[in-house]
Amino acid sequence: MPERASAKTAGAGRRAIKYINLNQLRSFFAVAEHRSFTRAARHLNIGQPTITTQVRALEERYGVELFQRLPGKIALSETGDALLAIVRPLFELEAQAVALMEARGGAVVGTLRVGSVGPFFVMRLLAAMQGAHPTLTISLKTSNSDEILRDVLDGRIDVAVVGDVSPDTRLSAVPLRRQPIVVFVNRKHPWSRRKQIGLQDVHGQPMVTREQGSRTRDVFEGALFKAKIKPRVVMEVPREAMREAVAEGLGFGILSEAELTPDPRFKALRIADADAATEAFAVCLQNRRAIRSISAFMDIAARARS
């Protein structure tokens, strides 16, 4: 009798192993990343009813709400946002494990998530990647440097091409090329008959500027501040909107030379008295540099520089 009691006591002392259903967690992660059940299902190559059921089962199992279902969209709840921060490293490690195993087979496969400040900077690299690794799928996001860098640091993007990069031990960076900043105006502007201007020319003139986070804007504003020049900013907009605003005659704009693609509506003017330029860099997280697809991209970027 004492022996039976002792065995029962020993069994009661064992701690139950806690686990979470990884398929349900993967479905949650996909929906959280894509902010859509439809896109998440497409990404995971499963039916939408399946992914909806798995997320609902996860919520019901723990009695929490992970998403707020709003008309026409979904948003992460406070709990969902906290869970996303926890599980993102888990699935990044899973991706690294898959990449390691695939690398043993010699081919670079899967999806490489690329970010860039504009398609003009990155397309030559992507063409080289596609030619060298035709089994690799590439997705591309474009935005300003600050947003793209945040995506790299948060693991939402694998590699990126961005403007000037501040020293950061978390990042591996490869310099690509230096691009002068040019002023551009529409063809009816008085400056359109000129080939270059001085900074003094823009003092007090209407300007359409880039949004906060643009490296081109930061460098140009630095040159203006140093020369004590102040244009009259009439609008702050993203790159493509700036082009259209300049085309409508709302003011002059600025772009790096590579960004100003040929367009009969515009005239580009070099800045004669200021060394205003940005340098493009290929970047990735240092701790993900060894992943085969990321390594291949960074190697191609390094060869493009030489």
Q: What is the CATH number of the domain that holds 301?
A: 3.40.190.10
Residue 196 maps to which CATH number?
3.40.190.290
Domains: count for the chain: 3
The answer to whether position 13 is within a domain reads no
Does position 60 have pLDDT exceeding 80, yes or no? yes
Q: Are residues 166 and 299 both part of a single domain?
A: yes
For helices 22-34 and 48-62, give the axis angle rounded to 10 degrees.
110
* pTM of the shown model: 0.57
Quick one: pLDDT at residue 256? Answer: 86
Q: Are residues 272 and 293 both part of a single domain?
A: no
Burial of 3 (0-12, 13-18, 19+ CB in 10 A): exposed
Amino acid at 298: M
- pLDDT tens per residue across span 252-284: 999 988 777 888 999 999 999 888 888 889 999
Range of the domain at 248: 178-277
Q: Are residues 270 and 190 both part of a single domain?
A: yes
- pLDDT tens per residue across span 199-209: 999 999 999 99
Q: Are residues 192 and 206 both part of a single domain?
A: yes
Q: Are residues 172 and 183 both part of a single domain?
A: no
- pLDDT tens per residue across span 156-211: 899 999 887 778 888 999 998 888 899 999 999 999 999 999 999 999 999 999 88
